[in-house]
Every structure is written in C-alpha cells, then in structure tokens.
Amino acid sequence: MIHTKSYLQGLKSLIGIRSPALALAASFIALGAIFKQAGFSLEQSVASSLFTYALPGQLVMTESYLLGASLINIFISVWLVNFRFYPMTVALMPALQHKSQPRWKYYLSCHFLAVSSWLIMKDGYKKIDKKHRLDYWIGIGSGTLSSAVLSTLFGYLISDYLNNNMMVALAIVNPVYFLCMMIGAMKNIKTTIAIIIGIILGPLFYLSIPEWSILIAGFIGGTAAFLMKGKNNDI
C-alpha cells in the first residue's frame, strides 16, 4: 500500500512559490489549444497528456503528424526527444529504492518522470525517510500529471479564444521555470559549471547549428562537470 502521509507530502510540494504546477499548467493549456488546431479530438488530446506526459515529445508528435510523417518516423522522433528521461531515471533510482517497496510501485511511478517532478524530488527527497520516498515521489508525480491532463482539457476547450502570440507566451512559461529551478539547484561546483557552460554555449551554437545547439551545449556542459574532480552532492 501507499504510505498516506508521504504521499500527501508529495502532493503538498506542488503548493508554494517554487511549485511547477502553474508553469506546467500554462504550457499544457497551450498544448491543448495546439491539439485542437491540429485537428485532434478532445479524447485524443487528453489521452496524449495522460499516457505520454512529455510536452516536447507531444509537440514533436503533433508536428510530425501534420507533416505527414509515417508512424515509425513519429515513434523514433518522440523516442529520441524523450531519451532525456534515461539519465534522469538513473540519477533518481538510488534515492527511491528500498527493499520494503513492492515492484508494482516502481512500474507505476516511472510514468510520472518529468523535469518538473524530478526537480521537486531532487530538492526535497532528503527530508523524507528512504522507506517512504517512493510514496512521496508518487504524490509528486500524480499531482503534476493531473495538472497536465486537466490543463490540456482546459486549453482544448478555450482554444478559440487564444491567438498564436498567447499560445507562444503560455508555452514558454514552463521552460523559463525550468531554467529558474536549475539556477536554484546550483548548490555545488559541478552543477554550477554544467549550467553556466550550457547557458553560454547554447546561444552560440544556435547561430550556426540551431537544430543541434541545445544537445551539443548540454553534452559539453555535462561532460565538463562530470570530468571535474570532487564529490558530487546531487541525487
């Protein structure tokens, strides 16, 4: 069973000035409106957020679909975009694993992985008894997922009242929030180096190779931080 107190602590972490709920909601409102304009039904739009729950991947899916890409091409494109979850999972699992937790909880909780929930967990997991951290994570994840699904539904319903500029503004709220959270996570030299290098190199690479700028800047920044000597205090 799920430990109720830890689960509720996870839900409560979505309340407050550092909560990703509002930023997440803003971007998924824009996504819901985009789905409607792309010709998806309400059921398809809501199901996309419920079962995929990955905003960049959902946008790639929509764009690829509109361009007439084949199913296999759409699958590969979305898979590559969502590959970012692999290192996040590797970093998160040691904080969640406990012999008392049944396997089904891990299968359930893997669906909740997102940058927003990962950052919340990273920020607060040390305050939770390791035995109940998985329940805490499920609370965070179910809360953020619910916000995404409900916001997609809301965005779909009000899409006729949103113009392109409004949708762009809503869509970039979440990335700006992530940037602020990452800056707030600069608690040791490795994290700081990775973020600073990425921020500097990203715009520079964009001038010459915009399609690969984020990937290359992140790879260089992360590699430089990884090669640095010293203890890593992150998850």
- Domain boundary pick from 137, 154, 174: 174
Distance (Å, whole) CA 157 – CA 151: 10
Q: Using only C-alpha atoms, what is the Rg of the chain?
A: 18
Q: pLDDT value at position 189? A: 80
- Tell whether the model's pLDDT for residue 230 goes beyond 70: no
- Domain boundary pick from 146, 174, 202: 174
Residue 108 lies in a domain: yes
Q: When comparing pLDDT for 188 and 12, which is higher?
A: 12
Scanning 85-212, the segments in alpha helix (DSSP H) are 85-96, 103-109, 115-124, 133-157, 164-171, 173-184, 189-206
Burial (0-12, 13-18, 19+ Cβ within 10 Å), 157: middle
Q: pLDDT value at position 134? A: 92
Same domain, 66 and 159: yes
Q: pLDDT value at position 42? A: 95
Same domain, 118 and 222: no
CA angle, 50 then 53 then 56, to 5°: 140
Highest mean pLDDT among 146-160, 163-177, 220-234: 146-160
Q: pLDDT value at position 229? A: 62
Same domain, 17 and 120: yes
Q: pLDDT value at position 26? A: 87
**Inter-residue contact 111 to 145 (CB < 8 Å):** yes
Same domain, 40 and 109: yes
Question: Residue 1 CB: number of other CB atoms within 10 A?
Answer: 6
What single DSSP character describes residue 39? T
- Tell whether the model's pLDDT for residue 15 goes beyond 70: yes
- Tell whether the model's pLDDT for residue 235 goes beyond 70: no
Q: How many domains does the chain have?
A: 2
Predicted confidence (pLDDT) per residue in 79-115, tens digit: 888 888 888 888 888 888 888 899 899 888 888 888 8
Range of the domain at 205: 186-235
**Inter-residue contact 34 to 164 (CB < 8 Å):** no
Same domain, 165 and 88: yes
Per this entry, what is the length of the chain?
235
Residue 179 lies in a domain: no
Same domain, 58 and 84: yes
Distance (Å, whole) CA 22 – CA 98: 32
Predicted confidence (pLDDT) per residue in 173-210, tens digit: 777 777 776 676 666 787 788 888 988 999 999 999 98
Residue 180 lies in a domain: no
Lowest pLDDT segment from 5-14, 114-123, 146-155: 114-123
Same domain, 48 and 114: yes
Q: pLDDT value at position 193? A: 85
Cβ neighbours of residue 20 closer than 8 Å, sequence gap 6 or more: 14, 116, 117, 119, 120, 144, 174, 177, 181
- Percent of the chain having pLDDT more than 70? 92
